[in-house]
Amino acid sequence: MGRERVLTAEEEAVNELLMSAKAAEMAYGFETLDFPPSLNFMTVRHKIEASQVFKIIKQMPKGAVLHQHDTSMTSTKWVVEELTYWPDLYMCYSKEDFLLTMFFEHPDQSCSWRLVREVRASYPSAKEFDAFLYGHLSLFTDDPEAKYPNNDILWNYFVDSLTLMNDLVTYRPAWESFLYQGLKEFCNDNVLYLELRVRLPPLYELNGTHLTVEETMAVNNNTVHRFLNDHAHLYYGTRFIYSPSRKVDNATVEEYFQLMKELRALFPDLIAGFDIVGQESKGEPLKNLLEPLLKISAAGIPVFYHAGETAWMGLDPDENVIDALLLNTSRLGHGYAIVKHPVAKAFAKKKNIPLEVCPISNQVLQLVSDLRNHPAASLVAEGFPLVVSTDSAGMLGAQGLSYDFYEAFMALGGAKADLRFLKQLAINSIRYSSLDKAKKTKLMRQWTGKWKEFVASMLEQHN
């Protein structure tokens, strides 16, 4: 990928610095077998952060993130240290039922609600209580093999964490702070643009009122514009892909369709399109929801379907890849299984339909243990269109995009992938965004300026 790109003399000099650092890390990994992409990200994050290659990638403008879910976008550390210290936050915890819920209101009398500040004060230390909350709000752990012995157990933890985070951040002021902070974290990681998958649960106020979905989207719109006003020289923008649950029937998807039409009419610049999400093996396959999904495609609503996020072959989750392509998906979310379907793969390549590859998510969620064996490695070698993205950065402990770029550069691209590879990934992320031609041109111009600044800064640092 990117091999045909011609680098300037200045870029060649930066490439020498980058490849010198990469060669040293590759050689060390080859001799010792201590190679971060071959090991679970949660056990080697500290090693990645110490990498010279990673430090260079951190400074690089990475274009766009095209696959990131809303309630897992912001670092869990920030959520614990900021939101859980707000007043009026209640929690209910039952060790017997392994139930933890948190709301900025006293929802009902179904269990013994306590103010979080009082629970924290009852612990030997605030640090100990915060670690308890972090363990429930994040998948991150020092020993993933022991905590997550199989995929079903891991997904149960994942769903529980997402549910708890959703309960915590759907208080309207908390969501505004959460979304703003998430955008800030990606912006600080030199990401210029974000397409965010959102389920749009109605937000609520402390007086017990709940916002409509339209009002909730208006809050998103206001927060995005506030962030843009504060970071106009650093950030280009954000769009939303409405992505409700796939564990539903046809009538519910019909309701999704009607809501999509309303939201696109109210927020034409903000709503990028439609997707349905969740663990594919537990939700309905696309073929079972065909009638309303065909209406969505026929209405000209862009779709960005999660499909083939599975290691199984020949079952419904695997064949979602084929159905997503037949439903005119603009991109394939994950698309992990596409290499097992040569006709579908050839069709996607011919139609220039990219995969949204999320290396760390695929590894942590147990699709592949060694990222050198990720299907995308062969797709990179044959020039298949793809973008590298994050999926659930905050919840996986991979704040921003740099960690996934590092894994892709070191594992998916192999030893010979160089600055051309990274540059092509950034360009792809803009090229395959949902923006129209004029806006892509504007974003590309902004990214090009940042890229030139990055090259100049790297040369200055090493002269």
Please give the positions annotated as active site. Answer: 309, 334
Rounded Cα–Cα distance for residues 320 and 284 (Å): 10
User: What tokens were used for 288?
Assistant: 């079972």
CA distance 207 to 105: 8
> What is the rounded distance in angstroms from the CA atom of residue 351 to the CA atom of residue 327?
13
CA dihedral 278, 281, 287, 293 (to 10 degrees): 0
| Helical residues (DSSP H) of 99-212, grouped into ranges | 116-122, 126-137, 144-147, 151-169, 172-188
**Structure tokens that stand for 50 in this block:** 């110490």
Sign for the pseudo-dihedral over CA of 141, 142, 147, 152: positive
CB 376 within 8 A of CB 339: no
366 phi-psi bin (left φ>0, alpha ψ -120 to 50, beta other) = left
Q: Please state, in angstroms and as integers, the Cα–Cα distance from residue 13 to each residue in 209, 300, 463, following that order.
A: 59, 46, 11
Degrees to nearest 5, angle at CA 431 with 428 and 433: 105
| Cα 147 to Cα 208: distance, rounded to the nearest angstrom | 37
Tokens 């006003």, located at residue? 229
Which CA distances in Å does 438 have to 234, 236, 416, 431?
19, 13, 34, 12
Rounded to a whole number of angstroms, the distance between the first and last alpha carbons of the chain is 29
